[in-house]
Structures are given as structure tokens and as C-alpha cells.
Amino acid sequence: MFTKYIFFFLSVLALYSAVMVLVSKKPIHSVLFLTLAFFAIAGHYVLLNAQFLAVVHVIVYAGAIMVLFLFTVMLLNLNADERSPKPAWVNFIAFVAGCMLMLTLVGVFRGYDIRVAQDPSLSQIGLVKNLGRILYHDYLVPFELSSVLFLTAMVGAVLLGKKEQL
Amino acid sequence: MFYCSIVQVFKIQNSKFIVQYSIFMMNTLNSIPIHYYLIFCSLIFCIGVFGVLIKRNALVILMSIELMINSINLLLAAFSAYTNDPAGQIFVFFIMVVAAAEVAIGLAIVVLIFRTTHSIDINVLNKLKW
């Protein structure tokens, strides 16, 4: 029962922050609400007993990606309102499209029932020990390739951000 | 369950009280159906799609993409926990890696756009449109 209340609280918090990301006029408010949504989703990971993912999520998203967004907003002085908002009929069509997508997803998921359901709070797969063993044993090559991807992304970002033309 | 998770972080799960607490929670805790996660993640995903469609600020569009990626991550982790299959959580880890790289490159491109056009309104980027 207690878990259910935590689940609903975190869900409402995440949904509210996600809506406020779009409603906010200034980009810096959007960034701060997005941080709140990320923390709510990290709470969901803890609720699923995926502690490694919760910690990595907080470090990567709230620690690294949000700092990148905040630096971009503040250094470029982008904290201004949108100059030319889209016309109302575009917003209406976008809203209808989003509702249609939601309806389709709900219709797809309605008949689904999981067969081998297991209490997620009792599964031990989310602990650092078990995930680390699997990551370094079965998924070693993708792990190393992701480090190459990170190096490429870093070189690309530095190259794009250089002032003088090459 | 929440209490158990915190306790497991601090590696004191061997005490007798925790074992009894887990057994007590075992009966009460299977109360969140997987459908709740499906509906919740679909809602977050649709909010992200809606944001990409209506916004003109390139930064807010990137944030909406982050929202979509997060909803997919949470759903993968939920299915992995409910079916006791660790591959889902490994995939979440790799998706996080790709998302971090994507944000770094995307923000560098946003900075470049701002330098050349003095705006991050995506409406000015219509040279390749027709």
C-alpha cells in the first residue's frame, strides 16, 4: 500500500514537471523543471529496486546533462521569450496528434498481461554487484565500444565549438 | 520496499529484522501492476512528442527528446525488474551513454546556430526546406 502511494506521488510529480517544461516561457525554468522530472524518475528506479540505474541516472542526467543545458542557456544569454510562437491551429493539430498517439498506445497495452510476473522489490538484478558482473562478462564489447563513442562525441563537440574556422 | 532498497544500499541486509520486514512486504508489495508503468511512460512519451511538435526553441526541443528517452528507459527497467531479466537494465545503461553523447553534440550544434543566426528559433533554419 505504502509503495503505491509513493508510486502515485512520483508519477504525479514527474507528469507535472514534464508539462511545466512545455508551459514555461523561459528556457531556464524549463531546465529546472526537467531536473525535477529527472529526480522523480530516479525515485521510480529506486522503487523498482534498480539502485545502480538510480545512481547512474542522477549522476548522468541531473549532474552532467542538466549542467550542460544550464551552461548553454546562461552563457549564450538565451533566457528570452519566444519571439514568434506558432499559430493556434498548429498547436491544436499537435495536441490532437499527441492524443491520438496516447490512444493508440493505450489500445495496444490494454490487452497485455505479463506471464511470469515477479515482485520487483525482491529481484536482486538491479544491485551493482550483479549488474557489474553481467556488464563485464556478457556485454564487454559494447561497453568498450560505448567508450569509443564517448571519445568521438567529445572530439566532435570540441571541434564544433571552436571559434576559428578550420 | 522503499525501506528495503535503502537498506540494501548500505549493505546491512543481513539483520533479522530486515528479513522479517521483507517477508512482510512480500505479501503487500506486489501491488503495482505493470500496466501502471505502461500508462505512465506512454503519458511522458506523448508529452515529449507534443513538445517537439509545438515548440520553436531548439533547446526546449532537445529537452522534450530527453523526456522521451527517459520514459523509454523507465519502461525498459520496469520490464527488466518484473521479468527478472538483467539485460533490460544493461540496455538502459547503454541508452544513457548514447543520450549523453547526443546532448553534447546537440548543444554544440545549438551554440553554432546561435553564433551564425543570433537566434535559436528553428524557424530561421528553412534554407533546406523546399
**In this predicted structure, which of A117-126, B57-66, B119-128 has the lowest mean pLDDT?**
A117-126
Q: Which of A46, A63, A121 is nearest to B1 (CA)?
A: A121
Q: A38-74: buried (b, 16+ CB within 10 Å) or exposed (e) per residue?
A: bbbbbbbbbbbbbbbbbebbbebbbeebbebbeebbe
pLDDT average, residue stretch A126-147: 90
Is there a contact between A149 and B111 if contact means CB atoms under 8 Å apart? no
If contacts are CB pairs under 8 Å, which of residues 42-81 in chain B contact chain A? 42-51, 53-57, 59-60, 62-64, 66-67, 70, 73-74, 77-78, 80-81
Residue A139's pLDDT band (boundaries 50, 70, 90)? very high
Mean pLDDT of the residues in chain A: 86
Burial A127-157, CB ≥16 within 10 A → b, else e = beeebeeebeeebeeeeeebeebeeebeeeb
The alpha-helical segments, DSSP class H, found in B55-86 are 58-83
Least confident piece of the model among A79-83, A95-99, B7-11, B63-67: B7-11
In this structure, are residues A47 and B74 in contact, taking their beta carbons and an 8 Å threshold?
no
Contact flag B60-A30 (C-beta cutoff 8 Å):
yes
Mean pLDDT of A126-136: 87
Residue B94 structural domain: 32-128
Q: What is the mean pLDDT of residues A68-87?
A: 75
Q: Could you tell me if B124 lies within 8 Å of chain A, comparing CB atoms?
A: no
B22 within some domain: no
In this prediction the pTM is 0.83
pLDDT in tens, B82-98: 888 889 999 999 999 99
Residues A84, B2: C-beta atoms closer than 8 Å:
no
Instruction: Read off the CATH number of the domain in which B89 is found.
Output: 1.10.287.3510
Q: Assess if residue B84 is contained within a domain.
A: yes
Decide if B19 is inside a domain. no
Q: What's the pLDDT tens digit per position in A64-77?
A: 999 999 988 888 87
Q: Is residue B9 part of a domain?
A: no
Quote the minimal CA–CA distance from B130 to chain A in Å: 19
Mean pLDDT within A91-104: 91
Asked, for residue B12, whether it belongs to a domain, the answer is no
Q: Give a yes or no: residue B21 inside a domain.
A: no
Residue with cell 571559434: A163
Whether residue B5 lies inside any domain: the answer is no
Structurally, how many domains does chain B consist of?
1
Q: Compare CB distances from A161 to B25, B108, B121 and report the shortest one's residue.
A: B108
Q: How many residues does chain B have?
A: 130
At residue B8, does pLDDT exceed 80?
no
- Given a cut of 90, whether residue B117 has pLDDT beyond it is no
In a domain, B82, yes or no: yes
Alpha-carbon distance of B107 to A65, in angstroms, equals 10
Question: Cell match 523561459: residue?
Answer: A26
Give residue B31's pLDDT: 66
- Per-residue pLDDT, averaged over B23-34, amounts to 57
ipTM for the complex? 0.88
A28-37, A81-90, B37-46, B118-127: which has the minimum mean pLDDT? Answer: A81-90
Task: Count contacts between A and B (CB, < 8 Å).
Answer: 254
